Structure 1
Amino acid sequence: MVLIEYSELEMLISRIREISGFDFSGYARPSLLRRASRYLTRHDMNVEELMQHIEPGGGIVYDLIQEMTVNYSEMFRDPEFFIKVKSEVFSYLESYPTLRFWVAGCASGEEAFSLAILLKEAGFLERSLIYATDLNNRVLNAAREGVFTLSSTRTFSENYLLASGKGSLSDYYHVAYSKAVISPELRKNIVFSLHDLTGDGVFNEFQFISCRNVMIYFTLELRQKVFKLLYDSLSMLGFLCLGKRETLRYSGIENNFKVIDSTLNIYQKIQ
């Protein structure tokens, strides 16, 4: 593994910002160090060599950005979260004639597909639209295809059953060429789109926003900026969902929300 110094990382962050406009300065440094080191190791180069190859209009800087952004998820990750959403959130949203959901930092689409299944089983999917966004175009392309390995579906299926799914996860995909392909019926209600939480603005108003396991990679200052964006994107009495290790504390907007579940970090906007 090629190891880099913090000073070298800062130079790299500055160079990426200069070339692409993408700003990693608000990201937690340990995570960036690991990912930058992994990129250098894979391409058998050091920081100095990488800096020489980063140039305007070149593909390397965008390849590096893709590598340094986080893109891991599972379908029905944290099954108890989905149980709580069904029991505490859907009972409130069932009266809405139309519903808009936002999965921010959607990676390869696992949470968006999980939410679509949840909505399908609750009878809400036909009047719902799910916006699933990420800043990593590579994983967004994978999400649009909705194709997963059969080995990953074993974990997904276990999670689905633990989340009190009504049937079998296999009801929502078919097998083709030893891959699992998500049903078109689920995919037609999902819009996958490029969006940078740290730099882009409000693009719609939502009754439900899931931004789970994203904030842990940001500094406090950047978290506060992103929380403001999420707040402005949420309709009154809408729901905001964070990851288990995340919290609204020190967000600057905590007093505008009612806590629905303090362990699973589900909140409702009340002002």
Structure 2
Amino acid sequence: MIINEAADQAKYNEQLEKLEIQLLLEGIYRHYGFDFRNYVYSSLRRRIWHRILAENLYSISGLQEKVLHSKQVMDRLLGDFCINVTEMFRDPSFFLFFRVKVLPLLKDKEFIRIWHAGCSTGEEVYSLAILLQEEGLYEKTRIYATDVSEFLLEKAKKGILPISKMQVYTQNYIKAGGTRSFSSYYKVIGGKVLFESYLKNNITFAQHNLVTDNSFNEFDVIFCRNVMIYFDKYLQSRVHKLFYDSLCLQGFLGLGNKEAIVFTDLAQCYEELSVQEKLYRKIK
């Protein structure tokens, strides 16, 4: 009897917690326009409780009150929701494949548009700029780097990284087929690394919400790597449709190593260039 009562109470608490999270996410959407309602529940739950403890609060409802009345608290929660796991030339084999197999197919274009969706703090964007520079394509390319978080975008625009990461990034650069000295792309100032300004010349950083915003241009290449793993199936389908509508015919889509297009409604619209690197070409 006691065991049954404990089980019933646990189930009740779980249902109440889900309701509180739903109300929090609905409030964020209605008040700020950020829609996290179709993100993976378990991931959101962990991040919500992290923010509750960090704000010295005791409940999800308490966090909701703070979030709706304080943009500063909302910004901190948004930072928790926006997964910031990135590095220069992350997954070097992806960048090597893109350099060797994809860029030669773009050389004859008069102008190249690339959308890097979910760019975080910009490490992979600058990696792409370096790669294009080395292949002689940067001058005729415009990279649109977007993220839902203004905080992360501001960091990306600065192009400043801790020098402690340069050893790992240099190894990634070499594995990605780098043809120069990686240190030639940055200056060291007071223990920080500042990218050369010319790498920013053809990059436009802008806020864009994959969940609620629409297509804003036609692109030859779209990168969205390790972002959709945090979306549920409905939201993944919505974003894949957005990318399909944004890609020109024969355009290229690059996904993260844990993502795929094979089980989507649009799979037949792409040619798979690499199973391992998750690179696809739009064929219809």
User: Could you tell me the TM-score, scaled by structure 2's length?
Assistant: 0.91
Amino acid across the alignment from 2:39? Y
**Is residue 150 of structure 2 the alignment partner of residue 147 of structure 1?**
no
CA-CA distance at 1:71 after TM superposition: 2.1
Unaligned runs of 5+ in 1: none
CA-CA distance at 1:55 after TM superposition: 2.6
CA-CA distance at 1:31 after TM superposition: 1.3
Q: Secondary structure at the match of 1:37?
A: helix
Q: Distance in 1 between matches of 2:256 and 2:71?
A: 35
In 1, are the aligned partners of 2:24 and 2:61 still within 8 Å (CA)?
A: no
- The equivalent of 1:61 in structure 2 is 74
Percent identity over paired residues: 37
Moved more, 7-16 or 227-236: 7-16
- The equivalent of 2:234 in structure 1 is 221
Q: Paired residue for 1:75, among 72, 88, 108?
A: 88
Q: Secondary structure at the match of 2:68?
A: coil
Q: Paired residue for 1:51, among 64, 69, 75?
A: 64
Q: Secondary structure at the match of 1:55?
A: helix
Moved more, 59-68 or 167-176: 59-68
CA deviations on 1:43-97 (whole Å, 9 max, x unpaired) are: 2112232122233574323432232121221010000001100111011001111
Q: Distance in 2 between matches of 1:155 and 1:258?
A: 33
CA-CA distance at 1:40 after TM superposition: 1.5
> Map of 1:180-195 to 2, 5 A cutoff?
180-195=193-208
CA-CA distance at 1:165 after TM superposition: 0.6
- The equivalent of 1:42 in structure 2 is 54
- The equivalent of 2:102 in structure 1 is 89
How many residue pairs end up in the alignment? 269
CA deviations on 1:102-124 (whole Å, 9 max, x unpaired) are: 11000000111000000000000
Amino acid across the alignment from 1:96? K
- The equivalent of 2:28 in structure 1 is 16
Q: Secondary structure at the match of 1:54?
A: helix
Higher helix share: 2
In 1, are the aligned partners of 2:153 and 2:207 still within 8 Å (CA)?
A: yes
**Is residue 191 of structure 2 the alignment partner of residue 169 of structure 1?**
no
Superposition misfits of 4+ residues, deviation over 6 angstroms: none
Q: Distance in 2 between matches of 1:50 and 1:42?
A: 10
Unaligned runs of 5+ in 2: 1-13
Q: Distance in 1 between matches of 2:73 and 2:36?
A: 16
